């Protein structure tokens, strides 16, 4: 009786392993044809990481509260938010360094509540790298394989592959403190990758690098992700990084997930004022709903500005107040009164910041609001502070959000 | 006024002050060294020519060597046990969070500031009330009290400067908690553990007060022996012994410094200069005990900020 139960258990495990391998294969083929900025099809239901109603309290204070997260196999998923929003805690819960106060963490469909960090098939790249300074680069990378008692020849082969993958072959016998920041970063990546985890966790992986190196490593991270087909979960506060690398992004604020979506969904159709403001730059105008029909919404701000906004994208219930988000690049700046644009206001230029390709202007409206406008840098325009200007945008170029 | 290019004396008042202070600190030791070579019949301040006779008489003195044996035995056993317990204590205090931790930590490091005489009397009273006979083992037990705290304090200062994610990184790569401790954390802490041991060793060798209260059963450590002899008048062979002790301590310090230097070329920032300074100073006989809480104000919890992120 016991034996048959045991055997059927093994059979089940093998079947599920076989299944997931087959699905993994298809993912790999797909990920070669799908470019990284496009989301994987919604129909794909294999989840590598799942958080169900997870909360974590530290001494009575909630770091995260009732989070639901579904990370699909093979995707590059970013958790984005300001510092203290609980994004690192979320990552540490997946890695197993913290136990959830409530809820459940699943990795590849298995409940992780009784599985300690060292028995989870995830590997972490720490922000501080956490390299072992008393070991050479090679020993650092082979550490995971050594503690798993992998045979020498196989181990050496894997380490060599990993070194090659991060282009660090010639540094194998150096010690970590003989490496630059970017090189340490590569070693940390290799040390995690060599274990062939189901999920790679990256905690602000590029936070300590300078701008140029960061751009370079972003490209390499994307390449690695495509080559390996492993699920990447990255925590970052850098919205540009999240937008350029991820298949999907979860935006977090105060221990809650504000929105999950593809980079373009998050940028073009933010669901909350916080997301609109945090991802990229935006102008938020709050006001009372004066008029609403099936297509258009008219808002009156406390300063007395009337704003028209298309209703189609924002599935707002009948609200008394709403917030309109206008991206600076969607606002047109002109010195003559424009033709009918829907929203048009006069004011004067308050500040100008020269950004090379663009001019970053702050426009003071006559009604009192200030708007940020991003204007392509064209030489025919002669904008100086105090220049009277008109700002305008179409109702379809802005978005109404619940206040 | 321009000083000549070659001017062996200090050029600034700061230089003079430094020289004066060094003379103040090391003058007595220098005098003692010189007089250990004095060819005199008994202790005298009159220089009567160079001689090694006090060293000869010292080396023929078997009692001194038995006392030295006792001292080394006490120091080695006390430090060996304390190194294990002290390291675990520092790691435990840094790593875990539990109610009353602040109090617990304070109590753990208290022997650093409790006067030796209190430890000595308390130990004696305790042993007497428990009817435990005094022996060399009671000295070892009493020495462990302060050795433990010193080693823990040096190790915890090193722990505070380590990457807080090191152990987690090892666990993440599949190491069991025991493997993470042995293969990752301990090697990184080793310089501090060695430094703490050297420090505790020197303090144990140096201790007179606690040993004199807890010694029994024929155990007679070196400081006790020296002290009992000096009561009957100082003989120049004690000068010779002191010189040898200073030399030996200096060599231990030099060894520690060498290990640190060698380590720092292959490992990342090794034990801080602070640790080495501490050993050096204590080795040349300066009492920096009361100074310790100032040197190591970082008895705060290095794990605390990590947990609340």
Query: Consecutive 10-residue runs of chain A (403 residues): their mean pLDDT?
Result: 43 40 38 42 69 91 92 94 91 94 92 92 92 93 93 93 91 91 92 93 87 87 90 92 93 93 92 90 89 82 85 63 89 83 87 88 90 82 84 88 79
State which residue of chain A sits closest to B179, comparing Cα positions.
Answer: A147
Spatial distance between the Cα atoms of A270 and A268, rounded to a whole number of angstroms: 6
- Structural domain contains residue A94: yes
Spatial distance between the Cα atoms of B31 and A137, rounded to a whole number of angstroms: 53
Q: Is A59 in the B-facing interface, judged by CB distances under 8 Å? A: yes
Give the list of residues 6+ apart from residue A8 with CB closer than 8 angstroms, or none: none
Q: Domain span at residue A196?
A: 44-268
Domain coordinates of chain B in residue numbers?
A: 53-307
ipTM of the shown complex: 0.76
What's the pTM value of the predicted model, to 2 decimals?
0.74
CATH of the domain at A73: 3.40.50.300
Q: Is A393 left (phi over 0), alpha (psi -120 to 50) or beta?
A: beta
Q: Does the beta-carbon distance from A95 to B169 stay under 8 Å?
A: no
- DSSP per residue, B119-184: HHHHHHHHHHHTTPPP-HHHHHHHHHHHHHHHHHHHHHHHHHHS-TTHHHHHHHTT--HHHIIIII
Contact status, residue B189 vs residue B158, Cβ threshold 8 Å: yes
Tell me: do A233 and A184 sit in the same domain: yes
Tell me: do A91 and A130 sit in the same domain: yes
Instruction: Single out the residue in A268, A299, A331 at which a domain terminates.
Output: A268
Spatial distance between the Cα atoms of A51 and A93, rounded to a whole number of angstroms: 9
- Structural domain contains residue A308: yes
Provide the number of structural domains found in chain A: 2
Contact status, residue A301 vs residue A311, Cβ threshold 8 Å: no
Contacts of B170 in chain A (CB under 8 A): 132, 143, 147
Contacts of B267 in chain A (CB under 8 A): 133-134, 175, 177
Q: Is A126 in the B-facing interface, judged by CB distances under 8 Å? A: yes
CA angle B281, B283, B288 (to 5 degrees): 45
CATH of the domain at A361: 2.40.50.140
Looking at the complex, report in whole angstroms how far the Cα of residue B155 sits from the nearest Cα belonging to chain A. Answer: 17
Spatial distance between the Cα atoms of A150 and B136, rounded to a whole number of angstroms: 50
Per-residue confidence (pLDDT) for residue A10, from 0 to 100: 42
Cα separations (Å) of A168 from A84, A87, A180, A282, B48? 34, 30, 12, 42, 71
Q: Which of A271, A276, A213, A223 is nearest to A245 (CA)?
A: A223
Tell me: do A222 and A288 sit in the same domain: no
Spatial distance between the Cα atoms of B207 and A176, rounded to a whole number of angstroms: 42
Q: Which residues of chain B have pLDDT under 70?
A: 1, 42-44, 256, 259-309
* Tokens matching residue A56: 């974590």
Give the list of residues 6+ apart from residue A81 with CB closer than 8 angstroms, or none: A87, A237, A251, A252, A253, A278
Residue-wise pLDDT for B117-136, tens only, equals 999 999 999 999 998 888 89
Q: Does the beta-carbon distance from B188 to A95 stay under 8 Å?
A: no
Per-residue confidence (pLDDT) for residue A316, from 0 to 100: 61
Q: Does the beta-carbon distance from A134 to B187 stay under 8 Å?
A: yes
Contacts of A128 in chain B (CB under 8 A): 163-165
Classified as helix, coil or strand, A261 is: strand
Contact status, residue B117 vs residue B210, Cβ threshold 8 Å: no
Tell me: do A356 and A239 sit in the same domain: no
Tell me: do A257 and A334 sit in the same domain: no
Contact status, residue A251 vs residue A224, Cβ threshold 8 Å: no
Q: Which helix (H) or strand (E) holds A103?
A: strand A102-107
Q: Is A269 in the B-facing interface, judged by CB distances under 8 Å? A: no
Looking at the complex, report in whole angstroms how far the Cα of residue A222 sits from the nearest Cα belonging to chain B. Answer: 23
**Half-sphere exposure of residue B90: CA atoms within 13 angstroms, side-chain side:** 30
Q: Does the beta-carbon distance from A133 to B267 stay under 8 Å?
A: yes
- DSSP per residue, A338-352: PS--SEEEEEEEEEE
State which residue of chain B sits closest to A143, comparing Cα positions.
Answer: B173
Classified as helix, coil or strand, A313 is: coil
- Structural domain contains residue A233: yes
Question: In CATH, what is the architecture of B53-307?
Answer: Orthogonal Bundle (1.10)
Per-residue confidence (pLDDT) for residue A195, from 0 to 100: 92
Contacts of A130 in chain B (CB under 8 A): 163, 165-166, 168-169
Classified as helix, coil or strand, A36 is: coil
Per-residue confidence (pLDDT) for residue A2, from 0 to 100: 44
Contacts of B184 in chain A (CB under 8 A): 132
Spatial distance between the Cα atoms of B222 and B211, rounded to a whole number of angstroms: 10
Per-residue confidence (pLDDT) for residue A69, from 0 to 100: 92
Q: Which of A275, A80, A115, A134 is nearest to A198 (CA)?
A: A115
Tell me: do A134 and A264 sit in the same domain: yes
Q: Does the beta-carbon distance from A128 to B188 stay under 8 Å?
A: no
Contact status, residue B39 vs residue B48, Cβ threshold 8 Å: yes
Burial A135-149 (b: 16+ CB within 10 A, else e): bbbbbbbbbbbbbee
Give the list of residues 6+ apart from residue B212 with CB closer than 8 angstroms, or none: B120, B224, B227
């Amino acid at each position: 009786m016991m034996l048959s139960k045991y055997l059927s258990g093994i059979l089940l495990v093998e079947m599920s392993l076989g299944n997931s391998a087959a699905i993994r294969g298809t993912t790999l083929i797909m990920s070669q044809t799908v470019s990284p900025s496009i989301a994987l099809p919604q129909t794909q239901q294999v989840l590598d990481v799942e958080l169900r109603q997870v909360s974590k309290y530290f001494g009575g204070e909630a770091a995260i509260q009732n989070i639901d997260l579904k990370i699909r196999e093979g995707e590059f998923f970013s958790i984005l938010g300001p510092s203290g929003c609980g994004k690192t805690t979320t990552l540490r819960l997946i890695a197993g360094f913290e136990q959830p106060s409530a809820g459940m963490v699943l990795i590849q469909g298995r409940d992780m509540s009784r599985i300690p960090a060292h028995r989870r098939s995830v590997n972490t790249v720490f922000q501080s790298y956490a390299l072992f300074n008393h070991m050479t680069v090679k020993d650092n990378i082979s550490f995971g394989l050594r503690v798993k008692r992998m045979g020498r020849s196989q181990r050496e082969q894997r380490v060599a592959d990993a070194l090659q993958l991060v282009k660090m072959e010639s540094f194998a016998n150096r010690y970590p403190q003989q490496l630059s920041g970017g090189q340490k970063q590569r070693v940390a990546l290799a040390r995690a990758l060599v274990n062939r985890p189901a999920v790679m966790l990256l905690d602000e992986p590029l936070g300590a690098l300078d701008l140029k190196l960061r751009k370079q490593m972003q490209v390499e991270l994307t390449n690695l992700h495509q080559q390996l087909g492993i699920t990447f979960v990255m925590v970052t506060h850098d919205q540009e990084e999240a937008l350029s690398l991820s298949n999907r992004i979860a935006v977090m604020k105060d221990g809650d997930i504000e929105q999950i979506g593809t980079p373009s969904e998050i940028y073009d159709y933010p669901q909350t004022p916080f997301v609109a403001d945090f991802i990229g730059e935006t102008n938020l105008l709050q006001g009372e709903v004066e008029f609403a029909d099936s297509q258009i919404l008219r808002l009156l701000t406390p300063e007395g500005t009337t704003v028209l906004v298309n209703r189609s994208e924002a599935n707002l219930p009948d609200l008394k107040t709403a917030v309109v988000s206008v991206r600076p690049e969607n606002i047109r700046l002109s010195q003559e009164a424009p033709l009918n644009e829907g929203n048009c206001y006069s004011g004067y230029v308050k500040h100008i910041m020269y950004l090379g390709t663009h001019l970053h202007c702050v426009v003071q409206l006559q009604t009192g609001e200030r708007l940020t406008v991003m204007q392509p840098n064209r030489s025919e325009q002669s904008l100086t502070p105090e220049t009277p200007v008109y700002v305008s945008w179409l109702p379809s170029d802005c978005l109404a959000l619940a206040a | 006024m321009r000083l000549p290019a070659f001017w062996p004396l200090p050029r600034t008042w700061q230089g003079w002050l430094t020289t004066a202070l060094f003379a103040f600190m090391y003058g007595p030791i220098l005098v003692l060294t010189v007089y250990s070579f004095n060819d005199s019949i008994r202790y005298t301040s009159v220089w009567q020519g160079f001689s090694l006779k006090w060293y000869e008489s010292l080396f023929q003195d078997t009692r001194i060597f038995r006392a030295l044996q006792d001292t080394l035995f006490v120091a080695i056993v006390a430090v060996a046990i304390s190194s294990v317990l002290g390291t675990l204590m520092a790691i435990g205090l840094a790593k875990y969070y539990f109610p009353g931790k602040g109090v617990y930590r304070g109590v753990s490091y208290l022997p650093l500031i409790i006067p030796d005489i209190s430890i000595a009397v308390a130990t004696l009273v305790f042993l007497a009330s428990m009817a435990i006979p005094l022996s060399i083992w009671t000295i070892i037990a009493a020495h462990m009290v302060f050795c433990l705290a010193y080693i823990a304090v040096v190790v915890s200062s090193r722990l505070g400067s380590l990457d807080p994610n090191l152990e987690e990184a090892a666990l993440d790569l599949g190491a069991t908690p025991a493997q993470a401790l042995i293969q990752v954390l301990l090697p990184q802490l080793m310089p501090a553990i060695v430094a703490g041991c050297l420090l505790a060793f020197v303090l144990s060798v140096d201790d007179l007060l606690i040993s004199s209260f807890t010694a029994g059963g024929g155990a007679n450590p070196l400081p006790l022996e020296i002290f009992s002899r000096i009561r009957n008048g100082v003989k120049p062979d004690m000068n010779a012994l002191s010189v040898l002790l200073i030399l030996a301590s200096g060599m231990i310090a030099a060894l520690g410094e060498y290990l640190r230097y060698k380590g720092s070329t292959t490992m990342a920032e090794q034990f801080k200069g602070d640790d080495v300074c501490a050993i050096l100073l204590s080795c040349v006989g300066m009492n920096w005990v009361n100074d310790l809480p100032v040197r190591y104000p970082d008895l705060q919890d290095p794990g605390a900020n990590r947990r609340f992120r």
